[in-house]
Structure formats: C-alpha cells, structure tokens
Amino acid sequence: MEITGFRFERLTGTLDHAPDEFYEARLSRPIDVYPEFRADTATDVFVGGGSEETETAAAEDGIEVSQVFLHVETDAGVTGLAGPVGDDWMANIARFEGLLAGEDPRATERCWDLMYRDAIHGRKGKTVQGMSAIDVALWDAHGKAAGEPVYRLLGGPCRTELPCYASMLGFPVDPDSVRERAAEMKERGYPAQKWFFRYGVGSGHEGKGANEELVRAARETVGDDYDLFFDAWSSWSRNYALDMIDRLAPYDPDWVEEPVQQDRKAVYAELREAAPFPIAGGEHEYTRFGAQDLLSRGAIDVLQMDTMWAGGFTELSHAATLASVHDVPLIPHGHFVPANAHLIAARSEQVCPYVEYLVRWNEQNQFFFADPVKPEDGTVSPPDDPGIGVELDYDVAEECKTVEA
C-alpha cells in the first residue's frame, strides 16, 4: 500500500446557536496585556475567527461553521482522515505531499521521521501541526487497512471506559453562574471540571480578586472531594502567578494550567516549587523533545500536549513514554476527542487518567462527524470501527467542496 496524494475538503454548515448565547465568556489571553485587546468580548474572540481548526462567523440563524478535512489517499483504495484542520495548516500539510508520495502509510515512524528531518526550520508551531494531521490520517489509514481501531494498533485497550473532565471554555465565570454550571456538570456525572480564568496581567487587583472568586465559587459548589482544574492560558507573569498561588491555595485546586507563557520553563519550575498544588502545562509545546525539556527541568506535574498539534499519535506515544518515566501523567489537550480517546485507551490510568472534553467547543469541532464521541455519565469510549472511527456527515453540510492549499 502506497500514499498517492492528499486532498483537502471544506464543509460549511450552520450551528444552531445564537453567537452571544453560545460563547458567553472568554478566557484571558497573553495579548490581553495590551488594553485594546483586553476589551475584546467573547464574541470578538470566538466568532469571526474560531478555534485553531474552525472558522466561524455570525449568521442570521446561528453560527456558520467552516472546516477543512485532510484525506490521505492510497493506491489500495483506503483513505485516511484527519481534521478539522485550520486554513493556515494546509500549506504546512501540502508541503509534505511529494515527500510522502509512494511511502507506506502504515510505516508511521518512517513517515514522521522523514517529515521531521525535512522540516529543519519547522520544529514547532504550524509545521508540526501539519505533520500531526498527516500522522493522524496515516494511523486512520493503517487501522482501516488492518480492520482494527487505532487503540489496538497502539497496544490497547488498557481500558475502554475513559473518565472525562468537563472543560468549561465559553461559560460565564461570575460566581452565581459558576455555582449553577458547576453543580450541573457534577450532576451530569463528570468526575472533574476545568474553569478558565478571565483575568491576567493588566487587570490589576480587581482581576485577581475576580479570579479568586471563580475558584471559591467552584470549590464551594462541588465540595472538597472533587477534582477542580483552572487554566490561565499563559496569561500571567511570574509575580502575578506567585500572588495568585497564595490567593488560590486555600481552595486546593487540583492543578493550575499554563500560568505563564510556554517558553518560560525556568519560571514554570519556580512556580511548581512554590505552589502547594500541581502545575500543568505543555498544551503549546511540540514533539517528544519539547516534552523532555519540560519533564527534565521538573517544570510540570501534568503534561498536556495536543495530539493534533504536537506530532500526532506517533509523537504523543513517545511523549507518553517519557511522561511515564518521570511519573507525570499525560492528559492531552482536548481539541480532537476521538484521537485522544484512542491514545488514552492504549495506556493505563496512571499514565493517562482523563480525557479533556471541551463542553461547548466540541459542538463545533465535532459538528460534521456522523457519530461524535460524547460523554455519557462523564465517560467516553474510543470508537470500535477501523481506524479512528470518524466518518463525515455530509447531510449537515450546506456546502462541500475540494479546496487547494
């Protein structure tokens, strides 16, 4: 079996939600240090741009969702699927088409190594995201050719019922709303939740106080014997984070995620030493080499690299092994739940204890999936169909067309 080419397909449809009701609040961002960006609303941030993988726009009857999917085609009639991928990923995917043409898609280690060695100026960022999408599609093709789900090819299952934490991006963070939604998610069976801080550097003491009130409201609602995580999304500075550690310690968070920007690894290690609770990070890190840098520095308690961003199944498998050597859990960032479910099912609970389920984000990121992977009573299972088990539902698409990179 040989790779014959890549094909990009754009699907467009309408998500049945009013923009202002779907995205009720936004998270803090590193760029919010500048006041003109700090004033952006949730609609400014999320609608008209969208996620890394999805373009969105306000429509008369909802939110227009436009997503691109990668198809890796072979001479055996087997096609590997990955996506959605961002529009600005396509060139970084297409650049490898000639390199991989004629290669066996089942030789994932070889294909990954060819791409990595060829992309000597692309060891992080968008280039690795493009490599990740190709790798996921290759594993999908491998599974389809073998008639097996990817988690079996990865050595699983170690278990098939995977606990999820409810990731609350887009939900309002005022105390009353937090109490209402936190209680709802606990009632729905989620064994843990993650909330996103709204304020960072530039918001002063008032912002710090509002962040603390978020944590207080969540902890008082769910009780002490329940995992609560909080995400600063790289928006704090060293001194801001040290102050917030003191403020948050009484509420016993189960981790604080990305307190500072990813490249400040020495600060990560300092904050980890100072905090009486775990520090998580790695969502914006890439490849096994980035994982090893974080782990060897003692910078994190939880590794959170993204399967669709950091190198695909091939590289996340290496990262999981490195994390297990350091006795640090890998909990992949949650933009592509089906892939994460396969990866996690192939590892023990000690190595990969949770699936991140972005409650609202997945309504758009799995919008075109025929059978979205959604939690029941706070757990998901990896699809049992060959490959990743994702098929596109063309019936919900208002437009479908092949596009060029």
pLDDT in tens, 69-109: 999 999 999 999 999 998 999 999 999 999 999 999 999 99
Burial class of 12 by CB neighbour count within 10 A (0 to 12, 13 to 18, 19+): middle
Please count the structural domains in the chain.
1
Nearest one of 359, 378, 295 to 330, comparing CA atoms? 295
| In a domain? residue 272 | yes
In a domain? residue 193? yes
In a domain, 278, yes or no: yes
Residue 50 falls inside a structural domain: no
The string of pLDDT tens digits covering residues 294-315 is: 999 999 999 999 999 999 999 9
**What's the pLDDT score for residue 73?**
98
Per-residue pLDDT tens over the stretch 11-51: 999 999 887 788 899 999 999 999 999 999 998 888 765 55
pLDDT at 46: 85
pLDDT at site 50: 53
- Mean of per-residue pLDDT scores for the chain: 96
Which residues constitute the domain of residue 258?
153-380
**Distant-in-sequence, close-in-space partners of 140: CB < 8 Å, separation ≥ 6:** 72, 80, 81, 82, 150, 387, 388, 390
**Residue ranges, the chain, pLDDT below 70:** 48-53
For residue 311, tell me if it sits in a domain. yes
| Residue 47 placed within a domain | no
User: CATH code at 296?
Assistant: 3.20.20.120
